[in-house]
Amino acid sequence: MKVSWNWLCELLDLPAGISPQAVAERLSVSGVAVDAIHPIGKGLSGAIVVEVRGKRPHPKADKLTLVDVFDGKEVTQVVCGAPNVPSPGEPLSSPRLVWARPGATLPSGMTLSVREVRGVPSPGMLCAEDELGLSEDHGGILILAPEDGIAIGADFAQAAGLPDFVFELDITPNRPDLLGHIGVAREIAALFRHEGVRLKPTSTDPRTVLGWFADPVHCRDCDSPEHFEKAPRIVVEDPEGCPRYFAHRLTGVRVHKSPLFYRLRLQRLGVRALSNVVDATNLALLQFGHPLHAFDLGKLAGQQLMIRRAKAGEKLKTLDGQDRELLPEDLLIADVEQGVAVAGVMGGQTSEVGETTTDVLLECAYFSPARVRRTSKRLKLHTEASHRFERGTDPSALPEVADACAELIVKLSGGRLAAPPTDVYRHKIPTQKLTLRPERTTAILGLAIPTATQKDCLEALGLGVTFDGQLLHVEVPTRRPDLSREIDLIEEVARIYGLAHLPMTLPRLAMAEPPPPTKGMTIYRNADRARLLCASLGLSEVLLFSMTSPERVRLGEGKQATRPHLLDNPLREELSVLRTRLLPGLVELLRQNLAHGQTDIRLFEVGEVFLPSSPGELLPTERTHVAAVLYGHRDHFLKPTASDALDFFDVKGLCEQLLDGLGLKLCLQPSSEAGPRAVFIRVATENEAPMLHPGAAAAVVAAQSGELLGVFGELHPDQQKSHDLPNPAFALELVVPALPIEKQPYVAPSRFPGASRDLSFFVDDKVEAARLMDTLWHAGEPLLRGVSLLEDYRQPGHVPTGQKGLLFSLTYRSDERTLTDEEVHKAHQRVISHLGAKFSLQLRQ
Amino acid sequence: MNESDSRAGELARLFEESLSRYQAALAEATSESALRVVHARYAGKEGEIRKRLADALKAAPGPDKRAVGQAGNTALQKAEELFGSRLVDLHEQKRQADLQRRLDVTIPGRPHRLGGLHLLTQVRLELEGIFAELGFQVATGPQVETDFHNFEALAMPKDHPARDMQDTFYLRSHDPSHDPLVLRTHTSPVQIRTMLQQKPPVRIISPGKVYRKDDDPTHSPMFQQIEGLCVDEGVTMADLKGTLLYFVQRFFGPGIGLRLRPSFFPFTEPSAEVDIECFFCKRSGCRTCKGSGYIEILGCGMVDPEVFRHVGYDSEKYSGFAFGTGLERMTMLRYGISDLRLFFAGDARFTEQFR
| Å between B211 CA and nearest CA of chain A | 9
Mean pLDDT, residues A203-224 taken together: 39
- What residues of chain B, 217 to 246, have a C-beta less than 8 Å from chain A? 221-222, 230, 232-239, 241-243, 245-246
**What confidence category does residue A218 fall into, taking pLDDT thresholds of 50, 70 and 90?**
very low
Asked if A485 is an interface residue toward chain B (Cβ–Cβ < 8 A), one would say yes
| Å between B165 CA and nearest CA of chain A | 8
Separation CA B47–CA B24 (nearest Å): 16
Please state the φ and ψ torsions of residue A188, each to the nearest 5 degrees: -65, -40
Asked if A623 is an interface residue toward chain B (Cβ–Cβ < 8 A), one would say no
Omega cis (within 30) before A176: no
Chain B residues with CB inside 8 Å of A391's CB? 161
- Contact (CB<8Å) B236/A570: no
**CB–CB of A258/A145 below 8 Å?**
no
Query: Considering only A222-231, A494-503, B41-50, which range has the smallest mean pLDDT?
Result: A222-231
At residue A392, what is the residue type? Answer: G
pLDDT at residue A362 greater than cutoff 90: yes
Asked if A571 is an interface residue toward chain B (Cβ–Cβ < 8 A), one would say yes
- What residues of chain A, 503 to 542, have a C-beta less than 8 Å from chain B? 503-510, 512, 514-515, 520-521, 524, 528, 531-532, 534-542
Residue A189 maps to which CATH number?
A: 3.30.56.10
Separation CA A740–CA B290 (nearest Å): 48
Comparison of pLDDT for A245 and A223, the residue scoring more: A245
Asked if A244 is an interface residue toward chain B (Cβ–Cβ < 8 A), one would say no
**What confidence category does residue B50 fall into, taking pLDDT thresholds of 50, 70 and 90?**
confident
Q: Tell me which of A504, A528, A589 to substitute to probe the interface with B (most B C-beta atoms closer than 10 Å).
A: A504
Give the residue from A424, A452, A471 where a domain finishes: A424
Do A383 and A526 sit in the same domain of this protein? no
At residue B267, what is the residue type? Answer: F
Please state the φ and ψ torsions of residue B241, each to the nearest 5 degrees: -65, -40
Asked if B46 is an interface residue toward chain A (Cβ–Cβ < 8 A), one would say no
| Å between B212 CA and nearest CA of chain A | 10
Ordered DSSP codes for B120-167: HHHHHHHHHHHHHHTTPEE----SEEEHHHHTGGGT--TT-GGGGGS-
Do A157 and A169 sit in the same domain of this protein? no
| Å between B198 CA and nearest CA of chain A | 9
**CB–CB of A143/A96 below 8 Å?**
yes
Separation CA A175–CA A188 (nearest Å): 14
The interaxial angle of helices A181-191 and A451-460, nearest 10 deg, is 150
Q: Tell me which of A172, A525, A631 to substitute to probe the interface with B (most B C-beta atoms closer than 10 Å).
A: A172
Q: Over the stretch A419-461, which tens digit does the pLDDT of each residue have?
A: 888 999 988 999 999 999 999 999 999 999 999 999 999 999 9
Ordered DSSP codes for A502-548: -----------PPPPPPHHHHHHHHHHHHHHHHHHTT-EE----SEE
Separation CA A389–CA B19 (nearest Å): 120
Q: Over the stretch A381-433, which tens digit does the pLDDT of each residue have?
A: 999 999 999 999 999 999 989 988 998 898 888 888 888 889 999 889 999 99
Mean pLDDT, residues B303-323 taken together: 96
Of A402, A400, A412, the residue nearest A362 (C-alpha): A402
Asked if A28 is an interface residue toward chain B (Cβ–Cβ < 8 A), one would say yes
B194-204 exposure pattern, b = at least 16 Cβ within 10 A, e = fewer: bbeebebbbbb
pLDDT at A215: 36
Q: What angle do CA A407, A412, A416 make, to 5 degrees?
A: 50
Asked if A598 is an interface residue toward chain B (Cβ–Cβ < 8 A), one would say yes
Of A403, A729, A777, A794, the residue nearest A598 (C-alpha): A729
pLDDT at B256: 92
The interaxial angle of helices B32-43 and B48-59, nearest 10 deg, is 10
**CB–CB of A98/A127 below 8 Å?**
yes
Taking residue B347's Cβ as centre, other Cβ atoms within 10 Å add up to: 16
pLDDT at residue B53 greater than cutoff 90: no
The three-state secondary structure class of B235 is: coil
Q: Over the stretch A581-615, which tens digit does the pLDDT of each residue have?
A: 999 999 999 999 999 998 999 999 999 999 998 88
Domain ranges of chain B: 3-99, 119-351
Comparison of pLDDT for A669 and B274, the residue scoring more: B274
**CB–CB of A444/B236 below 8 Å?**
yes
- What residues of chain A, 575 to 594, have a C-beta less than 8 Å from chain B? 575, 578, 585-586, 589, 592-593
Using CA atoms, how far residue A301 sits from A254, A334, A338, B187, B280, in Å, is 21, 9, 8, 54, 66
Ordered DSSP codes for B60-80: S-HHHHHHHHHHHHHHHHHHH
Asked if A738 is an interface residue toward chain B (Cβ–Cβ < 8 A), one would say no
pLDDT at residue B72 greater than cutoff 50: yes
First to last CA, chain A: 91
Separation CA B186–CA B195 (nearest Å): 16
**What confidence category does residue A222 fall into, taking pLDDT thresholds of 50, 70 and 90?**
very low
pLDDT at A834: 94
Residue A97 maps to which CATH number?
A: 2.40.50.140
Total number of domains constituting chain A: 6
**Quick one: closest CA in A to B170, which residue?**
A568
Chain B residues with CB inside 8 Å of A173's CB? 160-162, 164-165, 264
Q: Over the stretch A124-160, which tens digit does the pLDDT of each residue have?
A: 999 998 888 887 778 889 888 877 778 889 899 888 8
In a domain, A747, yes or no: no
Q: Which of A390, A532, A598 sits opposite B348 (nearest CB)?
A: A598
Using CA atoms, how far residue A291 sits from A248, A367, A423, A816, in Å, is 14, 10, 16, 95
Mean pLDDT, residues A159-188 taken together: 93
Do A645 and A721 sit in the same domain of this protein? yes
| Å between A25 CA and nearest CA of chain B | 10
- Contact (CB<8Å) A569/B209: no
Do A408 and A465 sit in the same domain of this protein? no
pLDDT at A257: 86
pLDDT at A561: 65
Using CA atoms, how far residue A117 sits from A63, A71, A123, A128, in Å, is 12, 22, 10, 18
Query: Yes or no: is domain B119-351 CATH 3.30.930.10?
Result: yes
pLDDT at residue A224 greater than cutoff 80: no
pLDDT at A109: 87
What is the 3-state secondary structure of A545-585? CCEECHHHHHHHHCCCCCCCCEECCCCCHHHCEECCCCHHH
- Contact (CB<8Å) A173/B165: yes
| Average pLDDT taken over every residue of chain A | 90
Q: Over the stretch A673-693, which tens digit does the pLDDT of each residue have?
A: 888 999 999 999 999 999 999
At residue A573, what is the residue type? Answer: E
**CB–CB of A512/B187 below 8 Å?**
no
| Å between B352 CA and nearest CA of chain A | 7
Chain B residues with CB inside 8 Å of A497's CB? none
pLDDT at A217: 35
- Contact (CB<8Å) B117/A598: no
| Å between A403 CA and nearest CA of chain B | 29
Ordered DSSP codes for A336-398: SSSEEEETTTEEBSTT---TT---EEEEEEE--HHHHHHHHHHHT---HHHHHHHH---GGGH
**DSSP code of A90?**
S
At residue B90, what is the residue type? Answer: L
| Å between A492 CA and nearest CA of chain B | 8
At residue A307, what is the residue type? Answer: I
The three-state secondary structure class of A665 is: strand
Do A251 and A332 sit in the same domain of this protein? yes
Do A67 and A143 sit in the same domain of this protein? yes
At residue A211, what is the residue type? Answer: G
CB pairs under 8 A between A and B: 254
Separation CA A68–CA B283 (nearest Å): 54
Question: In chain A, pLDDT over 70 holds for what percent of residues?
Answer: 96
**CB–CB of A115/A121 below 8 Å?**
yes
- Contact (CB<8Å) B115/A521: no
Mean pLDDT, residues B67-83 taken together: 88
Q: Give the β-pairing of A360-366 and A244-251.
A: antiparallel
Q: Tell me which of B160, B173, B197, B275 to substitute to probe the interface with A (most A C-beta atoms closer than 10 Å).
A: B160
Residue A794 maps to which CATH number?
A: 3.30.70.380
| Å between A605 CA and nearest CA of chain B | 9
Identify the top-confidence range among A76-80, A113-117, A628-632. Answer: A628-632
The interaxial angle of helices A438-445 and A486-497, nearest 10 deg, is 70
- Contact (CB<8Å) A541/B114: no
Total residue length of chain B: 355
Give all strands (DSSP E) within A636-741, no chain letters. 665-667, 678-683, 692-702, 708-715, 729-735
Expressed as residue numbers, the domain containing A113 is 45-162
Separation CA A684–CA A731 (nearest Å): 13
pLDDT at residue A490 greater than cutoff 80: yes
**CB–CB of A804/A794 below 8 Å?**
yes
pLDDT at residue A829 greater than cutoff 90: yes
The three-state secondary structure class of A813 is: coil
**Quick one: closest CA in B to A534, which residue?**
B115
**CB–CB of B329/B309 below 8 Å?**
no
Residues 6+ apart with CB under 8 A from A33: A27, A169, A170, B261, B263, B273
Do A612 and A714 sit in the same domain of this protein? yes
- Contact (CB<8Å) A491/B270: yes
Taking residue B185's Cβ as centre, other Cβ atoms within 10 Å add up to: 23
- Cα dihedral A458/A462/A464/A466 (nearest 10): 40
Of B148, B222, B135, B215, the residue nearest B185 (C-alpha): B222
Give the residue from A204, A232, A263 where a domain finishes: A204
pLDDT at A200: 84
- Contact (CB<8Å) A521/B140: yes
Asked if B322 is an interface residue toward chain A (Cβ–Cβ < 8 A), one would say no
Comparison of pLDDT for A155 and B291, the residue scoring more: A155
Comparison of pLDDT for B214 and A332, the residue scoring more: A332
Chain B residues with CB inside 8 Å of A578's CB? 144, 171
- Contact (CB<8Å) B319/A622: no
Separation CA A312–CA A148 (nearest Å): 47
Of A730, A547, A98, the residue nearest B171 (C-alpha): A547
Do A49 and A119 sit in the same domain of this protein? yes
pLDDT at residue A216 greater than cutoff 50: no
Do A220 and A359 sit in the same domain of this protein? yes
Taking residue A738's Cβ as centre, other Cβ atoms within 10 Å add up to: 13
Do A280 and A410 sit in the same domain of this protein? yes
Asked if B176 is an interface residue toward chain A (Cβ–Cβ < 8 A), one would say no
Do A246 and A363 sit in the same domain of this protein? yes
Separation CA B301–CA B307 (nearest Å): 12
pLDDT at B283: 78
Chain A residues with CB inside 8 Å of B322's CB? none
Residue A404 maps to which CATH number?
A: 3.50.40.10
ipTM, two decimals, is 0.87
Do A198 and A218 sit in the same domain of this protein? no
Q: What angle do CA A670, A674, A678 make, to 5 degrees?
A: 75
Identify the top-confidence range among A270-274, A314-318, A449-453. Answer: A449-453
Asked if A489 is an interface residue toward chain B (Cβ–Cβ < 8 A), one would say no
| Å between A712 CA and nearest CA of chain B | 20
Query: Considering only A108-122, A212-226, B81-95, B315-329, which range has the smallest mean pLDDT?
Result: A212-226
pLDDT at A229: 60
